[in-house]
Structure 1
């Protein structure tokens, strides 16, 4: 900068102050200073190069851009959204915050042509789809229920509401999986798989462009427990002994995120672990202190590549 003439530096500074501090537009600057508009543009660019103008991003309250970037880098994620929650938020408050944040994310990133797979037993996914507003144009082709949702009346209602509501607000065709998500045996599952009413829904899980899922802890959520699709209490010790800390779509993994292959897998009627992990965009909407270990493991194992979570869990991940 020392090599530049003082008059030139003065002009650079004057133009920069007029444009950035006073909001004078470039044509008006050119007219007022009797210079061409292209020269005004060059002077503004030069002012940035010389450090006369420096861009500073001031993060608003309730936005955690630096924390999100650290988590993205730590776990190799495509995107992280941290919902603004206070330290004393209960599960219902966290649920509403996650649903609102996830709804905004989907409304701004669904651009059309998507084939979306969706979990059927997740309270956070239900909160998400209920917070979404209908789009004026079609932004998805299909919404596929990736996991059976038939159990008691509550389970069936939740599964239908999630897939149906998401299809309605995106303009997509809903593909339902009208069967139990968890069966008594592998042989019973095989009977359902070959059913002509079930097979097309399972086949629709091929070629999904996006999966919208929750993350479960080893202890079933109240929603899952009430659904009639949860593992029996007597079966949980075997899962713990195998090292399970959580699941995505009832595909269990250990604390490093490694899939735990067992006879439990044979009883689940839904998308396979391999197909799920092959979906290009895998979005988890999950939070709450009791799920922090499971969420960390899901990220470490690459089960998801987009995370929408609450502030407390986000901090624990770092």
Structure 2
């Protein structure tokens, strides 16, 4: 059968870098050019490439996933855009409200919010940056949703230790860090210390060790900190509360003294203050005063169970950029 005639091939400009790709990558780039730049239908692209419509769909997905295609959306006057504007005006920060279905549970919300946050990070992280990343349920979800955004001379540094009396926590935190590093082709710096020392004196002594001081120095150079907020009341319980990091007595004591949340295992009250909370002297996360000195502090929150933590963090000036689901945003405005 004679192959149907195809549209006249589009000449690539001299600076086109597609010759650097393998055949599959070249096809993905070609499909993306025809679909997004030439506005051709998938059936036409399939004839152009001599393949099927379903293969074209997979090539376009690959082009988006690997960073060949960057999609930006100009929000219209929908509810999410309005909520974003109102929250930004009230709290003086950058806010992205993620459209969500009211029937979703917290686990589903987490997936939706994490995907949106991962997309935002793709535009925020650039070459020669130092990015601090906390660990936790939300950060794990964000790390798995990251696409490919190559940079150079970028460093991803772990914000707090992950070991506890039950597990070393190294693999869990390392996987999150590794995904961030791979997404941004960045060097990673792990922080091989416990989440909490048994004694504050041990922490003070460890902070004088050369290997620990080296990581602390990298943290001090952060341009961007990426984290969520721990909260005991969330339906998807924060890792710090369900992973063996706190005893029942410690959890009860935190509630008794009015703790509403934590950033990288440093706890704070309803006003975003961390002073007078004894466990913070044993925590390996950055002091909140140090965190406030980071130019961009990108917080990702899913679910209404973290609203009190969000309010406290906002009052304490811990957040400059917030990604939050629609339902939680409404609850935040109602408070």
Give yes or no for TM over 0.5: yes
Query: Which residue in the other structure is 1:146 paired with?
Result: 159
Where does 1:1-318 land on structure 2 (aligned, <5 Å)?
Answer: 59=76, 64-77=80-93, 79-120=94-135, 122-135=136-149, 137-138=150-151, 141-151=154-164, 152-153=166-167, 155-218=169-232, 221=237, 223-228=239-244, 230-318=245-333
Matched-pair contact (CA < 8 Å) for 2:156–2:186? yes
Is the CA contact (8 Å cut-off) linking 1:184 and 1:267 kept in structure 2? yes
Tell me how far 1:262 sits from its aligned partner: 2.8
Q: Quote the offset at 1:130 in angstroms.
A: 1.0
Does the CA-based 8 Å contact 1:186-1:266 persist in structure 2? Answer: yes
Deviations 1:198-257 (A, max 9, x none): 2211221112100001111145835224433x2211123332232211111222222222
Give 2:31's aligned residue. Answer: none
Work out whether residues 140 and 172 of structure 1, in 8 Å CA contact, stay in contact via their aligned partners in 2: yes
SS, match of residue 217 in structure 1: coil
- Aligned with 2:278: secondary structure? coil
**Aligned equivalents of 1:154, 1:264: Cα separation in 2:** 19
Q: Identify if the C-alpha distance between structure 1 residues 299 and 104 changes in structure 2 by more than 3 Å, giving closer, same or farther.
A: same
TM-score (normalised: structure 2): 0.71
Task: Please list every run of 5 or more consecutive structure 1 residues that lacks an aligned counterpart in the other structure.
Answer: 1-56
Cα contact 2:260–2:269 (8 A) shared by 1: yes
Preserved contact between residue 80 and residue 306 of structure 1 (Cα < 8 Å): yes
If the length of structure 1 is used for normalisation, what is the TM-score?
0.75
CA–CA distance in 1 between the matches of 2:185 and 2:264? 24
CA–CA separation in structure 1 for the residues paired with 2:153 and 2:99: 28
CA distance in 1, matches of 2:210, 2:75: 57
In the TM superposition, what is the alpha-carbon distance from 1:153 to its structure 2 partner? 4.7
1:59, distance to aligned residue in structure 2 (A): 1.9
Bigger Rg, structure 1 or 2: 1
- Deviation, structure 1 residue 68: 0.1
Write out the 4+ residue segments of structure 1 that deviate beyond 4 Å after TM superposition. Answer: none
Aligned length: 257
Partner of 2:219: helix, strand, or coil? coil
Q: Is the contact made by 2:200 and 2:281 (CA closer than 8 Å) also made in structure 1?
A: yes
SS at match of 1:247: strand
CA RMSD of aligned residues (A): 2.1
